[in-house]
Amino acid sequence: MGKFWMSNLVFKGWGTVDAAQNTVAHVKKLGGGRRIGVEKAFLPADAYDILRAAFPEAEFVEAHFPLERLRAIKTPGELELLEEASDRVIDSMMAAIAIARPGMRKSDLVDVLKREEVSRDLTFEYCLSTAGTNLNRAPSDQVLKQGDILSLDSGGNYKGYIGDLCRMAILGKPDAELADLLAEVEVIQQAARKPIRPGARGGDIFNEPLRMIASSGNRACLHFVAHGMGLVSHEAPRLTSDAPQRYEGCDGELPLASGMVISIETTMSHSRRGFVKLEDTVAVTETGWDAYGDRHRGWNRAGE
């Protein structure tokens, strides 16, 4: 690895032609490169053409894995941006939930959330939402009804860093069963935090949540996952191969380090009561962990 970094120039892709030209100028200032590493998934075709024209003799190699290793540990400045992004996403969710009313379409609620995020200087990236007992999380013309439970799972980008959280709401008052279901999700979420500290095996985050799910009466509809996040919603540390994106969990056996940021999420897809989920952003610190945007974790009353 040392020789690789000494003899090669490696950088992430960019989003505009101007940025590509600036990068070319910087690489030339450094003396050019015989081998240039790029992340092909992030490299637009027009930017690649500029790069190829500037360095016609260079060999271009995929550098996604080593760059992810570097990004896995965030600087204090990056952590501040992630914390700010998370806080702003939560504030946006609460503002949207306060506006939710029976008769509103689910897609209207997502539009409100988008406006709230943009008003807080976030770049809206996505929102997966459910209403009532419908488990479909895509925006739709579904009409919200009194008594519906609502989930908002949204990513808002602040200066390049993603706040990605999920919170619950209800158009009315939760009954005892709904209170118990969300409480079960919350207990699993809290159990996942306990082993998080520098030096702990990354895969240990899963041990207690999976044990709890296996012994739950709701085990058929419960799912837990944890994954790294930062510039991208799923990045290193990659803690499991059992994730929706089906990537290799190459960090599951490796130790956690201070500065890593992990999204932990517990989902209950209950066929009778609906979709119940919490998603949290947890940073590894020198002494354990810190959770960003760690507010409004219960049943938030919509329209209030």
pLDDT, average across residues 56-83: 93
Question: Does position 303 have pLDDT exceeding 50, yes or no?
Answer: yes
Question: Does position 35 have pLDDT exceeding 90, yes or no?
Answer: no
pLDDT, average across residues 287-294: 98
Percent pLDDT > 70 in the chain is 94
Domain regions of the chain by residue span: 2-71, 76-301
CB contact at 8 A, 185 and 270 = no
Q: Report cis status (omega within 30 of 0) of the bond before 237.
A: yes
Question: Does position 8 have pLDDT exceeding 70, yes or no?
Answer: no
* Rounded Cα–Cα distance for residues 39 and 48 (Å): 11
- The separation between CA 104 and the C-alpha centre of its own chain, rounded to angstroms, equals 27
Predicted structure pTM score: 0.90
Which two tokens mark 71?
């990004």
Q: How confident is residue 4, by pLDDT bands cut at 50, 70 and 90?
A: very low
* pLDDT, tens only, 171-221: 999 999 999 999 999 999 999 999 999 999 999 999 999 999 999 999 999
* Rounded Cα–Cα distance for residues 148 and 129 (Å): 12
CATH class of 76-301: alpha beta
pLDDT at 18: 75
pLDDT at 16: 65
How large is the C-alpha radius of gyration of the chain? Answer: 21
pLDDT at 183: 98
Question: Does position 14 have pLDDT exceeding 60, yes or no?
Answer: no
Superfamily of domain 2-71: Creatinase/prolidase N-terminal domain (3.40.350.10)
Position 69, amino acid: R
pLDDT at 39: 87
What rounded mean pLDDT belongs to the chain? Answer: 92
Lowest mean pLDDT segment, chosen from 3-7, 214-218, 258-262:
3-7
Percent pLDDT > 90 in the chain is 74
* pLDDT, tens only, 99-152: 999 999 999 999 999 999 999 999 999 999 999 999 999 999 999 999 999 999
pLDDT at 247: 79
Question: Does position 19 have pLDDT exceeding 70, yes or no?
Answer: yes
CA nearest 115: which of 136, 99, 135?
A: 99
pLDDT at 22: 83
